[in-house]
Amino acid sequence: MKPNIALLKADIRDELGKIAKLSEAFDDIANMLDKPAEEVPFFDRAAIGYYLHNFYNGCENIFTNIARFFENDLNPDSWHADLLKRMKLDIAGYRPAVIDEALYRLLDDFRGFRHVYRHIYTFELDWERERLVAKRFKKAAVEVNEQVERFLTQLDDLENGA
């Protein structure tokens, strides 16, 4: 195995491990998602938002490592959206798709939420929007793990000439 592919895989697996830890910790606060806004303090909303923020950061770290390895030419003005779009592309003879269209749409909601989270005060968060994204966290985490693991297997196949 080429060392640079081995390093790419190690970086990806490290991020997947962090996402798994985050997902496990999210179980402790998931019960808040069924409560109305007035019963969830701003501190708890901020904490939930931070979990969502961290989850998407982990996904983006994986995607950035892949893009640096294969493409390495993202537009600095729109790189967050461009990076996610690229991950659903199957580039024949070069790189398989990392995620499918359904996961792309799901993660795009997390990307959008993270953008809002970073640019407003936590007391301005829309609880209904945050809750909607948060209720899909577990599904997204499972899908990311499964699809990225599939991608890693496809990397083995590419490397071995299969």
Q: What is the pLDDT of residue 161?
A: 63
Backbone φ/ψ region at 161: left (φ over 0), alpha (ψ -120 to 50), beta: left
pTM: 0.91
Are 120 and 99 in contact by the 8 Å Cβ rule? The answer is no
Q: What is the pLDDT of residues 24-78, one digit of tens each?
A: 999 989 999 999 999 999 999 999 999 999 999 999 999 999 998 987 677 677 7
Domain total of the chain? 1
| Tokens (6 digits) for 147 | 């699809």
The whole domain housing 91 covers: 3-159
Map tokens 């979990």 to a residue. Answer: 51
The CATH number linked to 54 is 1.20.120.580
How confident is the model at residue 56, as a pLDDT? Answer: 97
What are the pLDDT digits (tens) for 83-132?
A: 999 999 998 878 899 999 999 999 999 999 999 999 988 888 899 999 99
Mean pLDDT of 126-149: 97
